[in-house]
Structure 1
Amino acid sequence: MTAETPQLNIISDTSDRLRPILDVPESELLAWLAAAGEKKFRAKQIRKWLIERRITSFDEMTDLSAALRTKLAAEFSFSSFDQVGHQIASDQTEKLLLKLHDGELVECVLMRDPGRRTVCISTQVGCAMGCVFCASGLLGVKRDLTQTEIFEQVLVLHRLMKDDEKITNLVVMGIGEPFANYGNLMRALNFLTDENGFGLGARRVTVSTVGIPKRIRQFADCGKAFNLAVSLHAPNEKLRSEIVPVNKGTGLREILAAADEFFSKTGRRVSYEYVLMSGINDQPEHAEELAKLLRGRNAHVNLIPMNGVNELIMTAPGDPMTRKFQQILDHRGIATTVRKRKGADIDAACGQLRLNRSGDATANEAATV
């Protein structure tokens, strides 16, 4: 390790569980190795195994002695979580359900496209934003993820991949509002994009937010060329406040102003996500209103036909309505794409796998009372 190596977080935890090895700062690991009679360079070897290699236990660190591997396993846990669910779709999208040390659950996803491997990660256990179409917030928000719990999702997905595959893109669009956990998010992203960390290019990273103006402006000043996606979902205040309740405390005007500042400072075009819900926000008049709202901005609209969620009554519009909505935006000069659905034959909706497992657990607990 070098002096420039990103420092890792220490979780404050008074339990007797083993601390995840990636939570241990360099200085502490070096001290531990010295006390164990090991050379300093072992720290670099351990880090390389954890970050770059596709292993699942200390025992696979074959250039370390068996004695050191045994000591590591006795002192530290290999990971921050256990994998308790794994779904693979027909399009080779893979979704993991991860159980954290306190029993809480989060999800992360690997999506495969020709020449592209994208991972989607979570930042919170649950979500407090209350978007009416989303499974992530149906159980409320439990807590923020630590920086290690955030970036380690990327590492566990990296380990799923074949030897000739590599992660090309990262989207922070999973469970939780990323900017509600801003400090841990940025520490995790700095690690993931540092050349002494995971080494992913900042331009390959997109953070999706429901729209927290203060944090958007702070994100613009972070010094790295990250991408910003704003979850819009409606073209006017009234409808957006119905779909995204936290809009009542901010408003479109302030969110768009912050997004404009982001573009002005970074030169990075802002994406606006728009989940299409049949009969709610998918009508031609909505498309016209959205085009008017974004006119003159260097913006891109990502139309997303809603993923089905068993607990919700909303559905996606049919292809003809989706195409008509896109055509109106295109005709008005707004750059638009329709997101290709990934993992349609598994629990594709964000938070759905967690919701299903949590629902099963609640039902089982109730049955034993």
Structure 2
Amino acid sequence: MIETKQKLLGKSLPELTTWIETQGQPSYRGKQLYQWLYQKGARSLAEISVFPKQWRATWETDPIGRSNIDECSIAPDKTRKYLLRLEDDQIIETVGIPTSKRLTVCVSSQVGCAMACDFCATGKGGFIRNLQAHEIIDQVLTVQGDFEQRVTHVVFMGMGEPLLNLKQVLPALRSINHDIGIGARSLTLSSVGIPGKIRELAEYRLQITFALSLHAPNQTLRSRLVPKAIHYPVKELIAECRDYVKLTGRRVTFEYILLDGVNDLPEHAQELAQLLRGFQSHVNLIPYNPIAEVDYRRPSPDRVQAFADSLTAQNIAVSIRVSRGLAANAACGQLRANQVQRT
């Protein structure tokens, strides 16, 4: 049999039906394949017992496109962080975050990251390659299978910059929404901000949540924390976010990692409020999750609350993210970096 390099994961029902027919199987098996991929989480054709055993045995290389769990770290709060080994032996991270009513998956969009944020463990490791759509979708199914619980929310906040991989991220979003069945408004794409790419994303008019990793209220400080931001002035970035709101009708979430004594001063809160005044937005404050490579510190709870109160007093919608998985090396890139150090 002639093998195919194109993976089945990520294909729609019509596409899977067409593929099945090209393999000499009856068209009704397309629906069976679809159900086994997205509802039962089949990891290989060999698992799909409704298919002829002889036909399944002819495949030397499985075409589905699932990864293997290389390592799993579990925190006391039940957050699970996975290292997934891909077909080319590259390693990525994904995180399953359970609460009483939700199971959120934090997915990666690239192997490594080129943005080099000063406080991020992934950025210290550099960029290797973009993930394919099936490698993104696989992360959701892996967590769903390991927890034996339906995933309710997906956030693109893992390794990599999603806007630099839109060619694969967009079909992954489609499949997660339509095939796995997670509502568009339960999907969040987080970006540092790439010139022109926010408007490009807006043109698709998706009903997902767009989150911008801002982390500073002015260009000087932001360029220090996010070196690549030197090419993207804050005022232009905010203007593009305003366009996003106009085109999609969806507010923008601004993620702001609070670093003790660096970007959490009262004057920073004042400046941030001034920057965001006048359009639909929401600030998500994130107390820093320390990594070994840098000396940034996590601010005290009182300091975090004071920053939030200052924004609220200036009519800026704000929330404080509850940190999860601190005991599981859950800062982006930490677990993968630890494995690299061991090998």
Is 1:330 aligned with 2:312? Answer: yes
Give the residue type in structure 2 aligned to 1:222.
Answer: Y
CA RMSD in angstroms, aligned pairs only: 2.0
Q: Which amino acid aligns with 1:234?
A: A
Q: For structure 2, list consecutive stretches of 5 or more residues without a partner in the other structure.
A: none
How many residue pairs are counted as aligned between the two chains? Answer: 338
Question: Structure 1 CA distance, aligned partners of 2:35 and 2:94?
Answer: 23
- 1:206 corresponds to which of 171, 174, 188: 188
Q: What is the TM-score with the length of structure 2 in the denominator? A: 0.93
1:339-358 equivalences under 5 Å are: 339-358=321-340
Residue matched to 1:60: 47
SS at match of 2:331: coil
TM-score, scaled relative to structure 1: 0.86
Q: Quick one: percent identity of the two aligned structures?
A: 37
Instruction: Establish whether residue 302 from structure 1 lines up as the match of residue 284 from structure 2.
Output: yes
1:21-60 aligned at under 5 Å gives the runs: 21-22=8-9, 26=16, 29-34=19-24, 38-60=25-47
Alignment-derived partner of residue 278 in structure 1: 260
Match of 2:112 in 1: 126
In 2, the alpha carbon distance for the partners of 1:40 and 1:63 equals: 14
Aligned to 1:106, what secondary structure does the other structure show?
Answer: strand
Matched, 1:88 2:70: no
Q: Which runs of 5+ in 1 are unaligned?
A: 1-15, 362-369
- Matched-pair contact (CA < 8 Å) for 2:95–2:105: yes
- Residue 237 (structure 1) aligned with residue 242 (structure 2): no
The CA distance in 2 between the partners of 1:120 and 1:183, in whole Å, is 19
Contact 1:54 1:160 in 2 (8 A): no
Counterpart CA distance in 1 for 2:177 and 2:64 is 22
Secondary structure of the 2:307 match is helix
Aligned to 2:62: 76
1:16-51 Cα deviation digits (max 9, x unpaired): 9976543786377324530xxx32222321221111
Aligned to 1:316: 298
Compute the displacement of 1:205 (Å).
Answer: 0.9
Residue 43 of structure 2 contacts residue 66 of structure 2 at CA under 8 Å; is this kept in 1?
A: no
Indicate conservation of the 8 Å contact 2:283/2:316, yes or no: yes
CA deviation profile, 1:66-101 (whole Å, cap 9, x unmatched): 3233234x3425534221011121111111101112
Contact kept? 1:18, 1:76, Cα under 8 Å: no
Find 1:115's aligned residue among 63, 77, 101.
Answer: 101
Separation (CA, whole Å) in 2 of partners of 1:203 and 1:278: 32
Aligned residue type for 1:41: Y
Looking at structure 2, the residues matched to 67 and 18 of structure 1 have their Cα atoms a distance apart, in angstroms, of 21
Tell me which of 104, 107, 132 is aligned to 2:90. Answer: 104
- CA-to-aligned-CA distance 1:276-327 (integer Å, 9 cap, x gap): 1111111111111111111222211100011121222111111111111111
